[in-house]
């Protein structure tokens, strides 16, 4: 197994009027060729900033640091903007949460699709055009050729999202980072797109980092999962470990919040995790989940240990594994 991306000790700080916002607080993860890593976590926990930092697209005032951030063996941290720009959209591509952030309203779909291939791979107009049409068809857009002359605002939200996915795939990237790529899509297209991403990942043996809050998607496509909360990874493991033996109370709570068709009674109140995320400005002492945790106790005010159970499997909590497993049972029956 060779790692496409290896990250350790990644932090992202953003200066705001009331101090430094520590959005990402020292996280480690890696993704291998042909592997899918899903990152899930609370809104605002730093998932998008994590992916933007890999792509070198953080806002200017953000401060990023890491012990290690290697892309296919090369160090991304020391790279000049020009070198990064040569990788971005080429060997490493991103599908954004909000299509309009990466689609330029002033250019046609065709222009925007063809541009990376022409710029990075010296493709001819015809080659770029053919590939654009091919990929638009692969993402399920009919009359693809005629779409090339349309502008982003002429497409529905779902069509724009599919155009963006096609755009990310133009240069056969080694790493695809997809930030909520199917959130705005209906389930049938979602299934098709996830099929497609899985297929292309196999075809090119590329690595996929998929950010999503849809646990259904995670369960069906992930090889491994990282659960984030307040800028840290609170649990990591294979997809089976996360769903069958969730250890962190946040992971356990998440699994309890979703209505499962055929299992959750219609109209019943859904499980929820009361409370909100602590402010990320300044330091957080102890466990950042403790104001929402049903199992918080004295120790949690000061301690926040990460237990590594095996390579790639671990969780962050003051409690030991048997105690966490007992908690999971208690939550389900509550």
Please, which of residues 304-333 interact with ligand SF4 by CB under 6 A? 317-319
Looking at residues 259 to 298 of the shown chain, list those that interact with ligand SF4 (rule: CB under 6 A): 287, 289-290, 293, 295-296
249 binds, among ligand SF4, Mg ion, other proteins, none (CB under 5 to 8 A by kind): ligand SF4
Query: Is the CB of residue 88 less than 8 Å from the CB of residue 62?
Result: no
Q: Cβ closer to ligand SF4: 100 or 323?
A: 323
Question: Any residues with CB less than 8 A from the CB of 211 and at least 6 apart, and which?
Answer: 38, 39, 40, 47, 48, 51, 97, 177, 178, 179, 180
Q: Cβ closer to ligand ATP: 10 or 300?
A: 10
Q: Collapsing DSSP states into helix, strand and coil, what is residue 195?
A: helix
b/e map 161-185, b = 16+ CB within 10 Å: bbbbbbbbbbbbbbbbbbbbbbbbb
154 binds other proteins (CB under 8 A): yes
Query: Is the CB of residue 314 less than 8 Å from the CB of residue 328?
Result: no
Give which of 334, 289, 282, 297 is closest to 315, Cα–Cα.
289
Show the site string, 239-258: x = touches ligand SF4 by CB under 6 A, - = not: ---------xx---------
46 binds ligand ATP (CB under 6 A): yes
Q: How many residues does the chain have?
A: 334
User: CB 317 → ligand SF4: shortest distance, Å?
Assistant: 3
Show the site string, 225-264: x = touches ligand ATP by CB under 6 A, - = not: ----------------------------------------
Which regions of 171-261 does DSSP assign to beta strands (E)?
A: 175-179, 207-211, 224-229, 232-238
Among the listed ranges 65-73, 74-82, 183-191, 300-308, the one in contact with other proteins (CB under 8 A) is 183-191
Q: Cβ closer to Mg ion: 48 or 190?
A: 48
Query: Is the CB of residue 319 less than 8 Å from the CB of residue 240?
Result: no
112 binds Mg ion (CB under 5 A): no
How many alpha carbons fall within 13 Å on the CB side of residue 90? 16
14 binds, among ligand SF4, ligand ATP, Mg ion, none (CB under 5 to 8 A by kind): ligand ATP
The whole-angstrom separation of Cα 256 and Cα 246 is: 11
97 binds other proteins (CB under 8 A): yes
Alpha-carbon torsion, ordered 58, 60, 61, 65, to 10 deg: 50
Give which of 285, 287, 288 is closest to 276, Cα–Cα.
288
Q: Binding Mg ion by CB under 5 A: which of 30, 48, 212, 251?
A: 48
Strand pairing partners for 24? 12
User: CB 278 → ligand SF4: shortest distance, Å?
Assistant: 12
Residue facing Mg ion at closest CB distance: 48
Among the listed ranges 18-26, 30-38, 149-157, 222-230, the one in contact with Mg ion (CB under 5 A) is 149-157
Q: Cβ closer to Mg ion: 157 or 259?
A: 157
Residues in the site for ligand SF4, rule: CB under 6 A? Answer: 248-249, 287, 289-290, 293, 295-296, 300, 317-319
């Amino acid at each position: 197994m060779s790692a496409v991306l290896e990250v350790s000790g990644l932090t992202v700080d953003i200066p705001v009027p009331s101090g430094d916002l520590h959005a990402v607080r020292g996280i480690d993860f890696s993704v291998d060729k042909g592997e899918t890593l899903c990152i899930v976590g609370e809104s605002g926990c730093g998932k998008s900033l994590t992916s933007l930092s890999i792509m070198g697209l953080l806002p200017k005032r953000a401060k990023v640091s890491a012990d290690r951030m290697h892309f296919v063996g090369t160090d991304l941290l020391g790279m000049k903007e020009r070198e990064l720009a040569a990788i971005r959209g080429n060997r490493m591509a991103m599908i954004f949460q909000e299509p309009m952030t990466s689609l330029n309203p002033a250019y046609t779909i065709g222009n925007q699709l063809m541009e990376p291939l022409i710029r990075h791979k010296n493709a001819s107009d015809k080659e770029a055009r053919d590939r654009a049409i091919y990929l638009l068809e692969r993402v399920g857009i009919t009359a693809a050729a005629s779409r090339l002359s349309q502008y982003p605002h002429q497409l529905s939200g779902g069509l724009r999202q599919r155009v963006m996915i096609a755009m990310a795939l133009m240069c056969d990237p080694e790493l695809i980072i997809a930030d909520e790529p199917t959130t705005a899509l209906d389930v049938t297209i979602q299934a098709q797109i996830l099929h497609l991403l899985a297929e292309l990942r196999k075809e090119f043996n590329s690595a996929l980092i998929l950010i999503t809050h849809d646990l259904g998607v995670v369960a069906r496509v992930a090889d491994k999962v990282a659960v984030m909360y307040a800028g840290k990874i609170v649990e990591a493991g294979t997809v089976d470990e996360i769903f069958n033996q969730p250890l962190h109370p946040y992971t356990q709570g998440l699994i309890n919040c979703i209505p499962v068709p055929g299992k959750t009674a219609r109209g019943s109140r859904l499980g929820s995790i009361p409370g909100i995320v602590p402010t990320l400005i300044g330091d957080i002492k102890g466990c950042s989940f403790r104001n929402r945790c049903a199992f918080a106790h004295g120790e949690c005010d000061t301690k926040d240990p990460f237990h590594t159970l095996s390579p790639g499997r671990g969780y962050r909590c003051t409690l030991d594994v048997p105690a966490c497993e007992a908690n999971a049972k208690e939550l389900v029956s509550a």
